[in-house]
C-alpha cells in the first residue's frame, strides 16, 4: 500500500503560493532589504538578540567585566568551567549545568545529577544565556511620578519603602498587599511568613497565567486533600493522554520523554503504546501510536464512555464490537488495552480540563490498579487556598475599592496577562504606592510608581524544588549586570534587614535538609551538585472519595470552542524578547514570530477561510483579529491560539510601542475570562477579507517543480517507518525501502584509519521538541535574522526538524518528523562544486568549512541534496565590532568562529567540542572514551535519540546504531555516503487499528530495475 507524505496543505494542493516558492531558485536578491521593512527596524531586529545591535546607553554601573589582577587558584584563562544552578518556571526548578568562560556564562545544559531531567534541558533553559545579556533588561531603579521617569538608586527606594511601610505598620499593614509569581523557594516562604508577622493584616497573593489549579482542585475532589500525581512512563505499557501533553507541557516533561523513549526500542523488549485524545496537535500527539482529534469540551463525554467500557470489561462483560467510526474503534482498543494491562498502564488528563474530570481520572487509575505502580502520589507543596485567577480577581476588586494603599509585585506581569474580564490595569492606577520587581520595564512596571531591577537566575543565590521534590540550589555565575536584586533579597530588605546576605538566607532555609553532622560539607556538596540527592517528596497513599455520577451530556457538535495554551516558544510571554525562541519554528505549524488561529481543514472549509486569511474571533462580547493557520489534525470546530504574544513593552525583539516597535502577534489573554482561562465555548468566527503572511519554514528548500516532485516521491525513503509486526517480520525492512543499481564512485574513495566521526538519530524516540535546534544555535553562534528574512527563506538554523503529514485524511493525518542537518558526506557533493575549496574533507571524515576562503557562490547549497547549508545574506555580526556594544557579544561562544556576510555555514558536528576533547586526551596521553564527546544537540535531547562518536570503534554506541537493522542513510542511492544514519521509526498500533503492512518498497513511485533503465535512457 502506498503511503502519501506531504509537508503542508499548500504542497498537498499545489497552491499558487507554493508554486511561487518553486519558481525561484533563490529567495530574494541578497542585496535587498525586504520590502516594507525600514533600515531602522532591520537594525532593531539585528540589535536586540544574538546577532542584534544593542541599545545605546547599556552600561554596567559599578561592576566591570575584566580579567582578575591576581588569578584565582585553579583558574586557567580560556578554559571553560561548569557550575550547577537552576531556572524556575511555574514554581518548579529545572536543574542546569552552565558553562562559563573567564567568568561569563555562555552555554546551558541539563544537570546530569538531576533525577528530574537526567541531563536534558528545555528550549527555555537553552535560551537563558541570551536573556542574561539582553540589552533591553531593566537598568537600575526607576521612579515614576508626575508623568516623568527618574533614575534612582536603591538607597532612595529604601528611604521611600521605610517611610511607606513604617506608616503601614501602625494598623498592621491592613492596606498592604503582595502579588507574587509562584515559587517553591523555602527561603522566600520563610520571608513571606516573616512579612506576615510584621504586617499581620496584610494580604499575600500568588498568580501565574499558566496555572495547574484544575489539577489541584481535581485531587481535592478525589481525595479531600491536594495531591501531586507522578507518572512513571518507564513502567507503563499503555499510556493514555486526554488533552495532556506529558512530553512537552507537563512540568516533568523532560523525565517523561526520557522514560517514554526508553520503551521505544523494538529490539530491547515490549514497546509501550501511546494514545492521545486532544483538541490541538501537541508533542505527545505527534509521538502517539494512535491520536484522536477531539474538542476539549467533549473530553468529559469521551472519558465517561471510556470509564463505562473499562468497567464493563473489568466486570467480565464481553466487549461489544466497535462501531465503524475511527473514534469508536480507538475507544474500544483503548479500553481493551487498559484492562489487559492493569497495574502497567496510566491515564493522564491535561491541566486545562475541569477539576471533575481530574477526579474521574484518579478514580479510573485506582480502578485499574495503577496507583503505587505507574502512578504515585505526594503532597502538593504549591497548593494554595484559592486559585491563581481567583486570587488576582480578589486583589483587583480590593484595589478598585480603594482598600489597597501599597502593592508590592514580585515578578510576573499581570498587567499584560490578566484575563480580559479582570481589569487589573485600571485597578493598579488607583493604588498610591505600587512597586514592581522585574527583569524588564514591562507592561506592569510602566504602571507602577517604582520599578526595581530583578536579578537574572544566573546572577543570584536561590533555592527551589523540582517537580519530584528534589531540592535545587542556584549560585551566582556572574555579578548582577544591572544592579538587580533577587526576590529573596528584596523581601529581606522589606522585612527590615539593611544588608542581607542572600547566601546565608538560602543556606539557612535549606539547613533542615542537610546532614546535621556536617552542615558545611553537605552545603558545599549541594552547591557543587546543584541538587540534593534523596530529597524527593515522600509518597503518600490518599484514600479516594466516592464521586457523584459523571455528566454524560455531549456539547453541540456545531459549536465552536476557543482553546488557550502556553506558547512552546515564549511560554506566557516572559520569553517574548528572546530572538532565539521567537525564531524557533513551532514543531507542528512551523510558524515563527507570530501566533495564529489554528483551524481544522473541515472547519476552515465551512467558514470559507484559507491559510493566511485574517479572522475575527468573538467571545463574550470581546473580539480579536488573527491570521488563520489551517492545520491538519486540529479537532473540527476547535480553534487554538497560543498565549504569550502581543507584548507592548517586551523590548526591541518582542515589541515595544514606546520605541515604535510593533508587538509580535496578538495578546489572546483579552479573550480569557475567570473560569475560562483554558478553553471556552460560544466562540463566533467571522471572515474579514484580509490576508496576513505568516513566517513559516516548512515549505522552504523546495527548489523547483522537478525538485518538489522528487521530494514527494522520496519522502517514504527519507522518513522510513513501519509497525512492530513489520519489524518482527523483517528487522532490516528500512534498508529495502530504496532500490538502486550498483553504486560506483567517480573519485577514489578515502579510507579513515584513525577516528571516523559519525552520528545516528533514532526516529522512534525523537518527539520534535526543538531542544536540539536551540542548543545548536546557542553553541554555534547562529544568528537571528528576523521575521521578514524568515519569510524570504533566509533563516540560518544549522539544524531543522522536518515535519511530514501522512495519509489522505487531512482532518486526522499521521505525522512523521526528521531532524535534518549536514550529513557530513564522505563523497560530499558540495565539495565537488566549490571553486575555491572552501568546503573540504578532513582525515577524520568531517566536511569542514574554511570561512576565509568562501566567496559566496552558493554552488555548494545548490548541490546539497539535503538543503542544510545557510548563506549569510547580511553581516549579522557587524554589531560586535562596535566598542560601545560589548554586552551582547558576551553571549558568543569563544570556541566558535563568527561568520560574516557572503559566507556559507552549516553544521560541523560541533567540531570545537571534538577538538577540545582531543587536546585533553592528547595531553593526558590516553585514548578518547566513547561518549566523552557530546554534541550540543545530543546533550540537550531529552529522548536520547541522538548518538555521536567514532564509527571505527565497533564498541561505540554510534557504531552499534549504524549496525542496527533499522539503520539507513538518507539518499544513500546518490552514493554520497553520509556519516549520519537514521533508525527507522517503529509504531506500536493496536492490532485492531493497524494498517495493512507495506509490500515491497511501497513508497512513492515504483523504482524497479526497468524504471532505472527508463530514466537512464531519458537522460
pLDDT for 609: 92
Q: Yes or no: is domain 5-16+700-741+750-987 CATH 3.50.30.30? A: no
Q: Which phi and psi (to 5°) does residue 823 adopt?
A: -85, 0
**Is the predicted pLDDT of residue 703 greater than 60, yes or no?**
no
Which of 386-400, 549-563, 581-595, 970-984 is least confident? 549-563
The residues near 742 (Cβ < 8 Å, ≥ 6 apart) are: none
Separation in Å, CA 146 to CA 143, 150, 449? 10, 10, 10
Residue 553 binned pLDDT confidence (cut-offs 50, 70, 90)? low
**Is the predicted pLDDT of residue 63 greater than 90, yes or no?**
no
Which of 137-146, 150-159, 749-758, 838-847 is least confident? 749-758
The residues near 589 (Cβ < 8 Å, ≥ 6 apart) are: 596, 598, 629, 631, 696
Sequence-ordered strand ranges (E) for 873-1007: 904-905, 946-950, 967-968, 980-983, 985-987
Which of 59-63, 561-565, 862-866 is least confident? 59-63
**Is the predicted pLDDT of residue 30 greater than 60, yes or no?**
no
pLDDT for 283: 94
Mean pLDDT on 637-666 = 94
Intervals of CATH 3.30.70.20 along the chain: 5-16+700-741+750-987
Q: What is the mean pLDDT of the chain?
A: 86
Residue 152 · residue 142 · CB < 8 Å: yes
**Is the predicted pLDDT of residue 826 greater than 60, yes or no?**
yes
The residues near 606 (Cβ < 8 Å, ≥ 6 apart) are: none
**Is the predicted pLDDT of residue 888 greater than 60, yes or no?**
yes
Which of 378-387, 907-916, 996-1005 is least confident? 996-1005
**Domain 141-211+387-529 carries which CATH code?**
3.40.50.740
Residue 486 · residue 455 · CB < 8 Å: yes
**Is the predicted pLDDT of residue 245 greater than 60, yes or no?**
yes
Residue 108 · residue 456 · CB < 8 Å: no
Residue 347 binned pLDDT confidence (cut-offs 50, 70, 90)? very high
Strand partners, 1016: none
Whose grid coordinates read 521593512? 37
pLDDT for 49: 43
Intervals of CATH 3.40.228.10 along the chain: 212-379
Separation in Å, CA 41 to CA 34, 46, 438, 693, 793? 11, 9, 26, 18, 19
Q: Yes or no: is domain 560-691 CATH 2.40.50.140? A: no
Residue 876: its H or E element: none
Q: What is the pLDDT of residues 754-774, one digit of tens each?
A: 899 999 999 999 999 999 999
User: Rounded to the nearest 5 degrees, what angle is found at the Cα of 328, between the Cα atoms of 327 and 330?
Assistant: 65
Mean pLDDT on 353-380 = 94
Residue 32 binned pLDDT confidence (cut-offs 50, 70, 90)? very low
> In percent, how much of the chain has pLDDT > 70?
87
Whose grid coordinates read 531540592? 471
pLDDT for 36: 47
Which of 124-138, 319-333, 680-694 is least confident? 319-333
> In percent, how much of the chain has pLDDT > 90?
71
Q: Please state, in angstroms and rounded to a whole number, the distance separating the CA atoms of residues 920 and 678.
A: 52
Q: Please state, in angstroms and rounded to a whole number, the distance separating the CA atoms of residues 1010 and 798.
A: 38
Mean pLDDT on 247-270 = 94
Residue 79 binned pLDDT confidence (cut-offs 50, 70, 90)? confident
**Is the predicted pLDDT of residue 716 greater than 60, yes or no?**
no
Q: Which residue has the higher pLDDT, 101 or 13?
A: 101
pTM for the full predicted model: 0.89
Residue 784 · residue 53 · CB < 8 Å: no
Residue 508: its H or E element: helix 502-510
Strand partners, 151: 142
3-state SS assignment for residue 833:
helix
Q: For the domain made up of 80-127, give the CATH fold.
A: N-terminal domain of TfIIb (2.20.25)
Extract the C-alpha cell encoding 104. 561569563
Residue 889 binned pLDDT confidence (cut-offs 50, 70, 90)? confident
Which of 880-884, 891-895, 997-1001 is least confident? 997-1001
pLDDT for 738: 78
Q: Please state, in angstroms and rounded to a whole number, the distance separating the CA atoms of residues 678 and 640.
A: 10
Q: What is the pLDDT of residues 145-180, one digit of tens each?
A: 988 999 999 999 999 999 999 999 999 999 999 999
Mean pLDDT on 728-745 = 84
**Is the predicted pLDDT of residue 711 greater than 60, yes or no?**
no
Intervals of CATH 2.20.25 along the chain: 80-127
CATH architecture label of 212-379 = 3-Layer(aba) Sandwich (3.40)
> How do 238-242 and 273-278 pair as beta strands?
parallel
Intervals of CATH 3.40.50.740 along the chain: 141-211+387-529
Q: What is the DSSP string of 292-349?
A: EE--GGGHHHHHHHHHHHHHHHHTTPPPPPP-SSHHHHHHHHHHHHHHHTTTSEEEEE
> How do 375-379 and 539-540 pair as beta strands?
antiparallel
Amino acid at each position: 500500500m502506498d503511503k502519501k507524505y506531504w509537508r503542508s496543505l499548500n504542497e498537498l494542493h499545489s497552491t499558487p503560493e507554493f508554486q511561487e516558492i518553486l519558481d525561484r531558485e533563490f529567495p530574494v536578491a541578497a542585496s535587498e532589504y525586504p520590502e516594507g521593512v525600514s533600515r531602522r527596524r532591520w537594525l532593531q531586529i539585528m540589535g536586540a538578540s544574538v546577532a542584534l545591535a544593542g541599545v545605546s546607553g547599556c552600561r554596567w554601573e559599578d561592576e566591570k567585566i575584566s580579567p582578575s589582577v591576581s588569578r584565582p587558584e585553579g583558574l586557567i584563562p580560556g578554559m571553560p568551567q561548569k557550575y550547577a544552578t537552576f531556572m524556575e518556571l511555574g514554581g518548579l526548578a529545572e536543574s542546569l549545568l552552565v558553562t562559563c568562560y573567564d567568568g561569563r556564562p555562555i552555554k546551558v545544559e541539563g544537570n546530569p545529577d538531576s533525577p528530574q531531567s537526567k541531563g536534558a534541558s528545555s528550549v527555555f533553559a537553552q535560551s537563558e544565556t541570551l536573556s542574561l545579556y539582553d540589552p533591553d533588561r531593566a537598568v537600575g531603579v526607576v521612579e515614576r511620578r508626575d508623568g516623568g521617569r527618574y533614575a534612582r538608586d536603591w538607597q532612595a527606594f529604601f528611604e521611600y519603602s521605610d517611610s511607606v511601610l513604617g506608616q503601614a505598620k501602625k494598623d498592621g499593614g491592613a492596606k498592604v498587599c503582595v502579588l507574587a509569581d509562584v515559587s517553591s523557594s523555602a527561603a522566600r516562604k520563610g520571608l513571606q511568613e516573616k512579612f506576615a508577622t510584621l504586617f499581620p493584616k496584610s494580604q499575600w497573593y500568588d498568580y501565574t497565567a499558566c496555572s495547574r489549579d484544575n489539577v489541584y482542585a481535581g485531587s481535592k475532589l478525589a481525595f479531600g486533600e491536594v495531591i501531586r500525581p507522578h507518572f512513571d512512563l518507564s513502567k507503563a505499557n499503555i499510556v493514555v493522554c486526554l488533552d495532556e501533553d506529558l512530553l512537552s507541557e507537563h512540568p516533568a516533561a523532560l523525565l517523561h520523554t526520557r522514560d517514554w523513549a526508553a520503551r521505544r526500542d523494538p529490539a530491547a523488549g515490549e514497546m509501550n503504546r501511546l494514545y492521545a485524545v486532544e483538541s490541538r496537535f501537541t508533542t505527545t500527539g505527534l509521538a502517539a501510536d494512535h491520536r484522536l482529534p477531539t474538542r476539549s469540551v467533549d473530553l468529559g463525554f469521551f472519558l465517561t464512555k471510556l470509564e463505562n467500557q473499562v468497567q464493563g470489561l473489568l466486570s467480565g462483560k464481553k466487549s461489544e464490537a466497535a462501531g465503524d467510526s475511527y473514534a469508536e474503534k480507538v475507544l474500544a482498543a483503548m479500553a481493551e488495552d487498559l484492562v489487559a494491562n492493569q497495574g502497567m498502564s496510566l491515564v493522564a488528563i491535561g491541566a486545562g480540563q475541569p477539576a471533575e474530570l481530574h477526579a474521574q481520572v484518579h478514580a479510573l487509575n485506582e480502578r485499574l490498579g495503577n496507583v503505587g505502580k505507574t502512578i504515585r502520589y505526594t503532597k502538593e507543596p504549591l497548593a494554595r487556598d484559592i486559585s491563581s485567577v481567583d486570587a488576582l480577581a480578589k486583589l483587583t476588586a480590593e484595589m478598585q475599592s480603594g482598600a489597597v494603599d501599597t502593592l508590592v509585585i514580585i515578578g510576573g506581569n499581570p498587567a499584560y496577562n490578566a484575563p480580559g474580564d479582570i481589569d487589573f490595569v485600571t485597578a493598579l492606577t488607583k493604588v498610591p504606592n505600587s512597586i514592581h520587581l522585574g527583569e524588564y520595564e514591562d507592561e506592569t512596571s510602566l504602571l507602577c510608581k517604582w520599578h526595581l531591577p530583578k536579578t537574572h537566575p544566573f546572577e543570584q543565590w536561590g533555592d527551589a524544588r523540582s517537580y519530584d521534590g528534589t531540592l535545587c540550589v542556584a549560585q551566582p555565575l556572574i555579578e548582577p549586570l544591572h544592579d538587580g536584586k533577587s526576590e529573596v533579597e528584596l523581601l529581606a530588605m522589606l522585612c527590615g534587614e539593611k544588608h542581607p546576605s542572600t547566601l546565608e538566607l538560602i543556606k539557612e532555609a535549606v539547613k533542615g535538609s542537610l546532614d546535621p553532622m556536617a552542615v558545611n560539607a553537605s552545603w558545599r556538596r549541594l552547591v557543587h551538585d546543584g541538587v540534593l540527592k534523596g530529597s524527593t517528596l515522600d509518597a503518600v497513599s490518599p484514600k479516594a472519595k466516592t464521586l457523584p455520577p459523571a455528566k454524560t451530556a455531549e456539547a453541540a457538535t456545531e459549536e465552536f470552542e476557543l482553546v488557550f495554551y502556553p506558547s512552546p516558544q515564549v511560554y506566557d510571554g516572559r520569553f517574548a524578547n528572546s530572538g532565539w525562541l521567537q525564531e524557533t519554528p513551532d514543531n507542528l505549524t512551523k510558524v515563527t514570530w507570530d501566533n495564529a488561529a489554528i483551524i481544522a481543514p473541515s472547519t476552515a472549509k465551512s467558514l470559507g477561510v484559507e491559510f493566511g486569511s485574517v479572522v475575527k474571533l468573538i467571545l463574550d462580547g470581546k473580539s480579536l483579529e488573527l491570521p488563520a493557520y489551517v492545520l491538519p489534525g486540529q479537532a473540527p470546530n476547535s480553534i487554538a491560539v497560543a498565549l504569550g504574544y502581543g507584548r507592548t513593552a517586551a523590548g526591541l525583539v518582542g515589541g515595544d510601542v514606546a520605541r515604535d516597535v510593533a508587538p509580535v502577534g496578538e495578546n489572546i489573554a483579552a479573550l480569557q475570562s475567570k473560569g475560562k482561562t483554558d478553553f471556552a465555548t460560544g466562540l463566533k468566527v467571522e471572515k474579514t477579507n484580509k490576508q496576513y503572511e505568516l513566517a513559516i519554514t516548512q515549505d522552504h528548500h523546495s527548489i523547483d517543480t522537478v525538485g518538489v516532485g522528487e521530494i514527494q516521491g522520496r519522502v517514504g525513503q527519507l522518513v522510513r517507518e513501519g509497525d512492530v509486526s513489520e519489524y518482527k517480520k523483517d528487522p532490516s525492512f528500512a534498508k529495502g525501502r530504496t532500490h538502486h543499481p550498483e553504486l560506483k564512485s567517480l573519485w577514489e574513495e578515502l579510507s579513515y584509519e584513525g577516528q571516523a566521526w559519525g552520528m545516528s538519530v533514532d526516529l522512534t524516540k525523537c518527539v520534535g521538541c526543538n531542544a536540539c535546534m536551540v542548543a545548536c544555535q546557542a553553541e554555534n553562534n547562529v544568528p537571528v535574522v528576523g521575521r521578514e528574512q524568515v519569510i524570504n527563506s533566509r533563516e540560518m538554523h544549522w539544524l531543522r526538524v522536518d515535519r511530514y503529514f501522512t495519509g489522505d485524511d487531512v482532518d486526522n493525518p499521521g505525522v512523521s518528523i526528521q531532524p535534518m542537518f549536514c550529513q557530513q558526506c564522505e563523497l560530499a557533493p558540495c565539495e565537488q562544486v566549490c571553486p575555491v575549496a572552501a568546503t573540504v574533507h578532513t582525515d577524520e571524515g568531517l566536511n569542514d568549512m574554511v570561512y576565509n576562503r568562501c566567496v559566496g557562490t552558493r554552488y555548494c547549497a545548490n548541490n546539497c541534496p539535503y538543503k542544510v547549508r545557510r548563506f549569510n545574506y547580511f553581516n549579522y555580526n557587524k554589531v560586535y565590532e562596535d566598542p560601545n556594544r560589548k554586552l551582547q557579544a558576551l553571549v558568543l561562544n569563544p570556541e566558535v568562529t563568527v561568520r560574516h556576510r557572503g559566507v556559507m555555514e552549516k553544521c560541523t558536528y560541533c567540531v570545537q567540542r571534538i577538538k577540545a576533547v582531543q587536546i585533553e586526551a592528547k595531553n593526558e596521553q590516553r585514548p578518547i572514551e566513547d561518549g566523552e564527546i557530546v554534541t550540543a544537540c545530543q546533550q540537550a535531547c531529552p529522548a536520547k535519540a541522538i548518538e555521536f562518536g567514532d564509527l571505527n570503534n565497533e564498541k561505540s554506541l554510534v557504531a552499534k546504531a549504524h549496525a542496527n537493522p533499522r539503520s539507513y542513510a538518507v539518499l544513500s542511492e546518490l552514493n554520497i555516503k553520509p556519516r549520519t544514519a537514521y533508525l527507522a521509526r517503529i509504531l506500536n498500533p493496536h492490532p485492531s487499528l493497524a494498517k495493512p503492512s507495506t509490500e515491497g518498497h511501497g513508497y512513492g513511485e515504483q523504482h524497479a530495475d526497468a524504471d532505472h533503465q527508463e530514466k537512464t535512457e531519458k537522460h
